[in-house]
Every structure is written in C-alpha cells, then in structure tokens.
Amino acid sequence: MSHISECQEIQVTENLGVLEVAIQRPDRKNALTHAMYTAINQAFDYAEREPTIRALLITGTEGCFTAGNDMVDFLQNPPIGDDAPVMILLGKLATFPKPLIAAVNGPAVGVGTTLLFHCDLVYVGESAKLQMPFTSLGLCPEAGSSYLLPLMIGHQRAAELLMLGEVIDGQRACQLGIANAVLADAETLSHARAQAARIVAQPAAAVRLTKELMRAPFKDMLHSHMKVEGDAFGKRLVSPEGREAMQAFMEKRKPNFSQFD
Ligand code: COA
C-alpha cells in the first residue's frame, strides 16, 4: 500500500494491482477543484504507465461521491480550453486502457455522473443520487454524455436526465443500465473492491484487449463529439445564464433567468 497524491483531498492508494482514488472533501460534498482534478490526472497517469496496476477504482467518501465541479472555480476561474485540468481528465477517462471501476454512495452530480459513463463497472449504494443538472445551470452536457447516454439508454430516457436534470437513485440507475448493481451503502466499496480483485486476477492483456475492442466502434466519434461538446460547455460557463445560476447557488437563492432571451 502506498500514497502517491500530494493533494489532501484526493487519497490515492495502491493495493494488489488496483489503484484506488478516493475523493475526500466532505465539507464541500467532494466538489472538485482544479487542484483535485490535477491530482486525479496524476493518479490516472501513474495507473496507465505502471505495469503492476491492472485496474483503477474511483470512489468518494462514505456518504457522497461528488457534487461535481466546484462552483467557486466555475465562477472565478472557469475551466475553458483543452489544458484545463478537468478537460484533461475527461480525455483520460475516454481513453484509459485498463478497467475503470466506480463505487458510488450519495450524491453524484454533474461530472460525478458523467464520468460513470466511461467506467467499465459501476456499483452504487442505496443512497446514490445521480444527477446532471446542466440545463438548470444554463450549461450543456459534458464528458461525452450527450453522445454516450443516448447510446446507452436511448434518446428519450437520456433527455429526461439531460434536459430535465432528473435525479435518479441507485435502483433506477441499474434499471437503466448505467450501473451494475445497487448495494447497501456499507457494502458498495467492498463489493467494488471484490470485483476489482476478480478483474485483476484475469489475464491483463486479454482484459485490456476486450476493453479496447468494446470501445473501438465509437472511439473516434466520441473523441470528435467531446471536442464539440467541450467548446459548447466552455461558452455556456461564461454565459449570463450560467453565471446567474452559479451565483444563485453560492448565494443560496433561486436563479432569475427572466432577463435572458
Ligand atoms: N461547489 C462548491 N460548493 C459546493 C458544491 C459545489 N459543486 N456542492 C456543495 N457545495 C457546498 C455547499 O455550498 C455547502 O456549503 P456551506 O456548508 O458553506 O453551506 C456544502 O457544500 C454542503 O452542501 P449542501 O448543499 O448543504 O448539501 P446537501 O446535502 O443539502 O446537498 C448536493 C448536496 C450535492 C445535492 C448539493 O450540494 C448540490 O446540488 N450541489 C451542487 C451540485 C452541482 O450543481 N454541481 C455542478 C454540476 S455541473
């Protein structure tokens, strides 16, 4: 077991071929800052290049996966451009060559949900609440979700989640096919770890090849769509509606969109 993260809010541990990345900022519901994305990116790089690492498991704290991007960062230092740490992470999620596993309890908002569409195995607790409130925030989908989600669950069901920002629980996530199993909260992480151990025991090259083949049919399309989506998202972040929505969240009030066309 070893620590490879210098960011206190991202705990990285290595155990029997699995790199575990835990988002640990409970006082802010694990909202992700630029520094936290950078630390996660370093963990992904390490996991990709280190031959002894055969899978990456991402999780949060006991009662929360992540509230998504930090709103203060969104307002003060919007992540625009390909070199923003969050954009770098999204690129890594889409191309990570080893099995990616998630264990999710409590809120998984914004990128907390969209990153799951890039995972190979997703385990959710009974408290899981997945939500992509992009339109309510004056934003648009990100992380390839406007391509991947309709592909995974069909256009109309994806529209309820992406246009209405509906919150879904673990059971519904399983019914829709975006999670593998729903567990008692206390068992989510241990179950994900057990599944990671099973995958690590498989022949690594065969597992990597299987992942590559499963993603090959849509890899190029996903790459080009993520570019288009990322540009649109960057523009929405600095739009008046987007800024009003984020400001309203920080000021704990309802946003007022009436002044915008
Ligand atoms: N960025 C910055 N701070 C955040 C945050 C975020 N994304 N999400 C939560 N926080 C902060 C809250 O402002 C609050 O701060 P305070 O203690 O100073 O009041 C603290 O974390 C606890 O959040 P709170 O809203 O009180 O917890 P909750 O259990 O009632 O609700 C969420 C949890 C995740 C449902 C809710 O916080 C939320 O909707 N967050 C915003 C999610 C979001 O829209 N993310 C961006 C998607 S693109």
What are the pLDDT digits (tens) for 151-197?
999 999 999 999 999 999 999 999 999 999 999 999 999 999 999 99
Contacts of 240 (CB under 8 A, 6+ apart): 138, 259, 260
Residue 242 lies in a domain: no
Q: What's the confidence (pLDDT) of residue 201?
A: 98
pLDDT bucket at 52, cuts 50 / 70 / 90: very high
**How many percent of the chain have pLDDT more than 90?**
95
Rounded to the nearest integer, the mean pLDDT of the chain is 96
Question: What CATH number is attached to the domain comprising 178?
Answer: 3.90.226.10
With a 6 Å cutoff on the Cβ, whether 104 touches ligand 1 is no
pLDDT at 1: 42
Q: How far is the CA of 160 from the centre of ligand 1 (A)?
A: 22
> Is the residue at 82 inside a domain?
yes
pTM summary value: 0.97
Ligand 1, atom 36, lies closest to the CA of: 67
Residue 113 in domain: yes
Regarding the beta carbon of 68 and ligand 1, being less than 6 Å apart is answered yes
Does 233 map to a domain? no
The pLDDT of residue 261: 78
At 128-137, the pLDDT tens digits run 999 999 999 9
pLDDT, residue 70, reads: 97
pLDDT of 6 = 85
Q: Report how many domains make up the chain.
A: 1
Q: Please give the pLDDT value at position 5.
A: 78
Residue 88 is assigned to a structural domain of this protein = yes
Residue 78 lies in a domain: yes
Range of the domain at 122: 2-183+204-210
How remote is the CA of residue 121 from the centroid of ligand 1, in Å? 26
